[in-house]
Amino acid sequence: MGWKITDMPRMDGRIALVTGGASGIGFQVARELGARGAQVVILGRDEAKGEQAVAELRATGGDFRFEQVDLASLDSISAFAARWNERPIHLLINVAGVMALPEFARTVDGFEMHMGTNFLGHFALTGRLLSALRAGQARVVTVSALVGRWKMARLDPDDLQGENQAYSPMGAYARSKLADIMFAVELQRRFAEFGITSVAVDPGTAATNLQRHARGATRSVGIWLSNTIGYPLDRVAENVLFAAIMPEVASTTLIGPSFFVQRCASPKDVGLPPLAKDSSVRDALWAQAAALTGVRFGSGDATRRA
């Protein structure tokens, strides 16, 4: 048998931030970390929903609190980072996201909503918290998706918003999730020597509210996959938690289910999609993200490629 959530070690004394921790995979991740002694801070856009989630989590025991952060707003991200005041962070779990919005939409900063929230928001948040992450010798786990490994996930750093092509809900989502993989890989390459480790993870399929925007065939297929091959609720956080504690992390690591029928799977390194292996594309993506968000990572951001 492979690794299971019950194999998780104690996390006493560690501070963990979980974006999207008010529901779905993020909620399950937060619950398991708190159950093992971590101080868990849930980050989310909806304060009422976040406080309700914290109340539910506290009822199970553990140290939880909520902080308001809208990943679709660079101002909101900056405001939170300023409030954090560089206290050490030991785990940053980038879970939050939007999926398959039926129509093209933009964030308040003008970014396409999938790319702006799923990738650029997490890029900016991680960069704004860099000092705290370095102080805590942190592990950063960035959640992608199976679709980020599919052929439909095409990414052009010069057209991150997808403005030069017809809008496709799943295509936009896939691009953002491929970008998340490439960000995690590049973060590991640039900052491992500074004490930060970074892992990308495909959490697998489960029935969560991430699919609430999907319509028609996309929604039907998602529900079928969740019910047929997906993880049961008590295991939906398995791959993310393994990525958070696995001892050895390479710059090419992508954790995901070991088997197509995920309820029979365990976490393993499933390998990068071809485009994520291209260092020139990763560099271009990083440069574009820095230019669009105005976030420069500082020390380590210009380290020479091995």
* pLDDT tens profile 129-143: 999 999 999 999 999
| pLDDT for 234 | 77
| 298 assigned to some structural domain | no
The secondary structure element, H or E, covering residue 298 is: none
| 1 assigned to some structural domain | no
| pLDDT for 265 | 81
pLDDT at residue 287 is higher than 90: yes
Which residues are part of the catalytic machinery?
A: 173
Q: What is the pLDDT of residues 169-205, one digit of tens each?
A: 999 999 999 999 999 999 999 999 999 999 999 998 7
Domain that holds residue 140: 9-293
pLDDT at residue 20 is higher than 60: yes
Provide the phi-psi class of 110: left if phi over 0, else alpha when psi is between -120 and 50, else beta.
left
Q: What is the pLDDT of residues 33-44, one digit of tens each?
A: 999 999 999 999
| 171 assigned to some structural domain | yes
**CATH code assigned at 198:** 3.40.50.720
Q: Which residue do the tokens 């779905």 mark? A: 24
DSSP state of 148: G
**Virtual CA dihedral for 109, 135, 268, 38, nearest 10 degrees?**
-100
Q: What is the pLDDT of residues 206-244, one digit of tens each?
A: 655 554 544 555 555 555 565 666 777 778 899 999 999
The secondary structure element, H or E, covering residue 267 is: strand 267-269
Instruction: Please state the pTM of the whole predicted model.
Output: 0.91
pLDDT at residue 303 is higher than 50: no
| 299 assigned to some structural domain | no
Cα–Cα distance between 66 and 46 in angstroms, integer?
10
Residues 6+ apart with CB under 8 A from 11: 33, 36, 37, 38, 91
| pLDDT for 251 | 83
| 82 assigned to some structural domain | yes
Query: Which structure tokens are listed for 276?
Result: 């994520």
| pLDDT for 205 | 79
Cα–Cα distance between 260 and 264 in angstroms, integer?
8
| 305 assigned to some structural domain | no
Give the number of domains in the chain: 1
Provide the phi-psi class of 18: left if phi over 0, else alpha when psi is between -120 and 50, else beta.
beta
pLDDT at residue 47 is higher than 70: yes
| 301 assigned to some structural domain | no
| 39 assigned to some structural domain | yes
